[in-house]
């Protein structure tokens, strides 16, 4: 059976749980509390030397880190991953966009606010993250004004990946009301069969 | 013919050029000078609304952004991308590691130093990038002490991706002499057939 090592407040962990659930893959969830330093223990670092959740343990005992690599691994051969060569590359395009332009800004701003980590020396970086986070939401809005989903007009792991931290962006003090196409898309993602909510929303 | 829109000083552009060259794919290179704001013109934003290089223009006129998505698109079916399902996920694992843990720290530190962008208000962020960049190099060193290449003991786009900004990390004031396994791997990458150097090294 697959084992997901994750944190219940981590959107990166949630996106893996959502894919596992929607694909009907049996799994167990081992909670790793990042705020308690549980990603920095010798035991966890043996699973992922980069010290981050999520990590997927595969049946043969291999540990696979990086949420979006896990999404690709799980979705291969399912309706959540296209078969067309260009559409597959476009799914990856949005997955890399999410990890470079979206998550470090929107998820980190949310984390700093929720965990009381917005120290004075981080004020400048926080302001930069707000600008960059709003820019990322603008790129999504522009795309979703013309498309129902991110790739091929079908629900895929590109949508799941971007949903994870977009739907809780308000917790990072981002105002989603400025992005009506994004809000309509969030509703479309929520209405997919087998959708489960992120805990602590 | 494929067209690569890139900046000659960008490792993200270089990695695409290296794959195109090693796969023997004819292409033309259109220089976009990011320091002159050429990624922010209306003409360029029509190609990539996210305003970044590289972008690959495919024969049908489609524009594909995100360097690592382009690498996957180009390498599919070649020796630079494994066929085994787990190895493919491990290639993606290192590609996402590069964009999240490596590039924003090592490439950005290099860029700030080279372009005179290390303003006083960025000093704190610069110090954080140095710590995180060294941590990323440490993760690479740990892996390369036990492996010749990043995935499956064979040269792949995971190596090309990580080579791009690692081999110029010294320009970001990172001391690679602390990472002998990384230095030996850089030599192995340089010795691959069809290797071309990055301009302005």
Looking at chain A, the whole-number percentage of residues with pLDDT higher than 90 is 97
| Closest to B97 measured CA to CA, from A64, A3, A105 | A64
Please, which pLDDT band fits residue B199 given cuts at 50, 70 and 90? confident
Of the residues B75, B106, B122, which one is the last residue of a structural domain?
B75
For residue B151, being part of any structural domain is answered with: yes
Mean pLDDT computed over B148-171: 98
Both A165 and A123 in one domain: the answer is yes
Both B94 and B183 in one domain: the answer is yes
- B118 in reach of chain A (CB within 8 A): no
Contact A97 B139 (CB under 8 A): no
CATH of the domain at A159: 1.20.1050.10
Mean pLDDT computed over B126-131: 96
* Measured distance CA(A129)–CA(A100) in Å, rounded: 12
Please, which pLDDT band fits residue A92 given cuts at 50, 70 and 90? very high
Which residues on chain B are in Cβ contact (under 8 Å) with A73? 85-86, 88-89, 92
- A33 in reach of chain B (CB within 8 A): no
Both A112 and A38 in one domain: the answer is no
Which residues on chain A are in Cβ contact (under 8 Å) with B66? 92-93, 96-97, 100
Both A95 and A71 in one domain: the answer is no
For residue A115, being part of any structural domain is answered with: yes
For residue A69, being part of any structural domain is answered with: yes
B118 Ramachandran zone, left/alpha/beta (phi>0; psi -120 to 50):
beta
The pLDDT tens digits for B39-52 are 999 999 999 999 99
Strand pairing class (B55-57; B63-65): antiparallel
Both A116 and A176 in one domain: the answer is yes
Question: A106: Cβ–Cβ under 8 A, 6 or more apart, which residues?
Answer: A129, A133, A136, A137, A165, A166, A169, A172, A174
By Cβ distance, the residue of A58, A66, A93 closest to B97 is A66
* pLDDT at residue B130 tops 90: yes
Which residues on chain B are in Cβ contact (under 8 Å) with A86? 58, 62, 64, 73
- What are the residues facing B31 on neighbouring strands? B6
- A83 in reach of chain B (CB within 8 A): no
- A143 in reach of chain B (CB within 8 A): yes
* pLDDT at residue B91 tops 60: yes
pTM recorded for the entire structure = 0.97
Of the residues B75, B109, B134, which one is the last residue of a structural domain?
B75
For residue A80, being part of any structural domain is answered with: no
Please, which pLDDT band fits residue B201 given cuts at 50, 70 and 90? very low
The pLDDT tens digits for A99-144 are 999 999 999 999 999 999 999 989 999 999 999 999 999 999 999 9
CATH of the domain at B37: 3.40.30.10
**Contact present, A12 and A54 (Cβ < 8 Å):** yes
Question: Which of B57, B99, B161 best tests the A interface by mutation, with the highest count of A CBs <10 A?
Answer: B99
Q: How many CB pairs under 8 A join A and B?
A: 103
Which residues on chain A are in Cβ contact (under 8 Å) with B67? 96
* Measured distance CA(B133)–CA(B104) in Å, rounded: 8
Of the residues A75, A99, A128, which one is the last residue of a structural domain?
A75
For residue B184, being part of any structural domain is answered with: yes
What DSSP element (H or E) covers B57?
strand B55-57
Both B69 and B93 in one domain: the answer is no
Both A63 and A100 in one domain: the answer is no
Mean pLDDT computed over B62-75: 98
Cβ–Cβ contacts within 10 Å for residue B68, how many?
A: 28
The pLDDT score that the predictor gives to residue A121 is 87
Which residues on chain A are in Cβ contact (under 8 Å) with B10? none
**Contact present, B6 and B29 (Cβ < 8 Å):** yes
Mean pLDDT computed over A158-174: 97
B106-116 burial code (b ≥16 CB/10 A, e <16): bbbbbbbeeee
Report the complex ipTM.
Answer: 0.97
- A117 in reach of chain B (CB within 8 A): no
For residue B80, being part of any structural domain is answered with: no
Both A115 and A165 in one domain: the answer is yes
For residue A53, being part of any structural domain is answered with: yes
Both B62 and B122 in one domain: the answer is no
Both A89 and A186 in one domain: the answer is yes
Which residues on chain A are in Cβ contact (under 8 Å) with B100? 66, 99-100, 103-104
* Measured distance CA(B192)–CA(B89) in Å, rounded: 23
Question: B13: Cβ–Cβ under 8 A, 6 or more apart, which residues?
Answer: B4, B6, B7, B53, B54, B67
3-state secondary structure of B25: coil
* pLDDT at residue A201 tops 80: no
If one counts the domains in chain B, the total is 2
Both A18 and A60 in one domain: the answer is yes
Both A118 and A158 in one domain: the answer is yes
Q: State the DSSP code for B116.
A: T
* Measured distance CA(B193)–CA(B201) in Å, rounded: 20
Mean pLDDT computed over A182-200: 94
Where in the sequence is the domain holding A114, given as residue range(s)?
A: 85-190
For residue A116, being part of any structural domain is answered with: yes
Cis, peptide link before residue A69, omega less than 30° from 0: no
- B79 in reach of chain A (CB within 8 A): no
DSSP-derived secondary structure for chain A = -EEEEE-TT-HHHHHHHHHHHHTT--EEEEE--GGGTTTSSHHHHHH-TT--S-EEE-TTS-EEE-HHHHHHHHHTTSTTS--SHHHHHHHHHHHHHIIIIIIIIIIHHHHHHHTT---GGGHHHHHHHHHHHHHHHHHHHHHHTT-SSSBTTB--HHHHHHHHHHTTGGGGT--GGG-HHHHHHHHHHHTSTT--PPTT-
């Amino acid at each position: 059976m697959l084992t997901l090592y994750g944190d219940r407040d981590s959107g990166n962990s949630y996106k893996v749980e959502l894919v596992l659930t929607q694909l009907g893959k049996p799994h167990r969830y081992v909670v790793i509390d990042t705020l308690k330093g549980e990603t920095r223990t010798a035991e966890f670092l043996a699973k992922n030397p980069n010290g981050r959740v999520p990590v997927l343990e595969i049946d043969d005992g291999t540990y696979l880190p990086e949420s979006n690599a896990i999404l690709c691994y799980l979705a291969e051969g399912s309706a959540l991953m296209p078969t067309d060569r260009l559409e597959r590359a476009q799914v990856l395009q949005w997955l890399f966009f999410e990890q470079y332009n979206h998550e470090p800004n929107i998820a980190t701003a949310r984390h700093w606010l929720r965990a009381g980590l917005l120290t004075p020396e981080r004020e400048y970086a926080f302001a930069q993250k707000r600008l960059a986070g709003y820019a990322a939401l603008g790129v999504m809005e522009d795309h979703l004004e013309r498309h129902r989903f991110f790739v091929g007009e079908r629900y895929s792991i590109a949508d799941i990946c971007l949903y994870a931290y977009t739907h809780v962006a308000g917790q990072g003090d981002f105002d989603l009301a400025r992005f009506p196409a994004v809000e309509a898309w969030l509703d479309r993602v929520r209405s997919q069969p087998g959708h489960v909510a992120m805990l602590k929303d």
